[in-house]
Structure 1
Amino acid sequence: MKERIFIKESIQHLEAKEFIRKKFSNAEISEIDIKRTPVGTRIVIHTTRPGMIIGHAGSNIDSLTKELEKNFDIKNPQIDVQRVNNPDLDAHIIAQKIADAIEKGVNYKRVGNFYISRIMDAGAIGCEIVLSGKFSGERGRVARFLSGYLKKCGDTSDKLVEKAFAVATPKLGNVGVTVSIMLKPIKPILNPAKSDKSDVKSEPVKPAEQEAATEKAGEAKENSSGEEKSEKIEKKSKESKPNKKKAQTEKKK
């Protein structure tokens, strides 16, 4: 029974996201996050035009909360609108713009090359745009536009690659738009002392240099041992001289 409840809630959330996108189609919405909280349901809308969603004195948000409660059975929705700082690096916004351009009749090659160069100029490591559908005839085709370096699998692709999908509906038929953008990773800040130590590299020692070093060490040990022996002999000679003098004085007496 619990699984059915979770499935029902996820379907309601998907329908609510589609409803918000259709209602504010001109607002360039990127992502919509819906999460349950102990107080109610928190809805975060990321967009490049927050004023269109908020409305005059929050009128659009008030009407949206009432519609979500009535049509989708979302309890106490709390809507938060956030601005997207760099829309050229947002895969959702780029995919929607490409779909709108194809619906208006712009050539698909021109659209793909234009947005590829725009994404790379914004600072992405790599990007890919895939268009599949009927562009200029009855037969469907696939057009792929690539630039830079893009990971297709692995942990780096999950963390750094942002993917989005949109559908264009021109007269000939539907066209699918898939956009993948690889962003720059955030590097950790290192301590200056540690970084200086890591920069110092130890050069490999050659065998001839090793032999010379061992010979010098052996000579130094021999010299030190010879000096120690001479010091011991001198001490013994000094100790023996006063003993001889004492013996001579005793004989005279």
Structure 2
Amino acid sequence: MINLDIKKLEKKRDYLILNEDNITIGFSTAEENRSFNRNTEEGIKELDVIKNEFNVKELAYLKQIHSDTVYVFDGQESFNDNEGDGIITNKLDTCIGVFTADCVPIILIDKTLGVVGAVHSGWKGTISGIVKKALEGMKEKFNCKAENIKIYIGPHIRKCCYEISEELKERFLKETGIEEKELFAGRNLSMEKVIEKDCLDFGVKEDNIFSLNLCTYCTEDIKLHSYRKSDGSYGRLFTFVIMK
């Protein structure tokens, strides 16, 4: 896994932007106190703003339910009413994205075939392997090859701050097969380690996995929304990918 150098990312308003040829990856921040909560009027307005800011025809997202359900977006009407936590598409001029406020946002891209994906992975999605299901979807629906896929992991609550119960810790150790010293510090979990393993097991190259090494809970240099830190406020980050 390679840590992304934040200084090399473009700053556009309160986004951190990474451009991969005709593909744009965006990580929103909370620098301007914007929130992309789809359940609020303000959040919907902010989502509409993205279409204008990035000049896209369509914006696709889901009613996230901490599942391992992944959809293919091909322009369906009322797509945004679907319940699930992952989207893949080969549509141009389209923005797909996920909402987070401690959970892990993951962007997947295959520049060779022109396929992208966005995944929301909380602990439930992480332990059920939602990123692997998204990879499987890219392979089955679009014939993507693992060696051509790049993974970008966005800001989330990291091992430094994410304490879970002893019962859940034992479940992660049993179901992932990852050594305790790699996966945990005490009861503090690294969801990223599980996601990385799933990608490697699928066949993604290690040097094609990138991480934006920011913790939503304790990072101070960049303001981010954190559900835990804010005692349940409605602030949400939006991590997205656009293919032109």
| TM-score using structure 1 length | 0.28
| TM-score using structure 2 length | 0.28
Of Structure 1 and Structure 2, which has the larger fraction of its residues in helix? 1
Higher relative contact order (CA 8 A, sep 6+): 2
Name which one, 1 or 2, has greater alpha-carbon Rg: 1
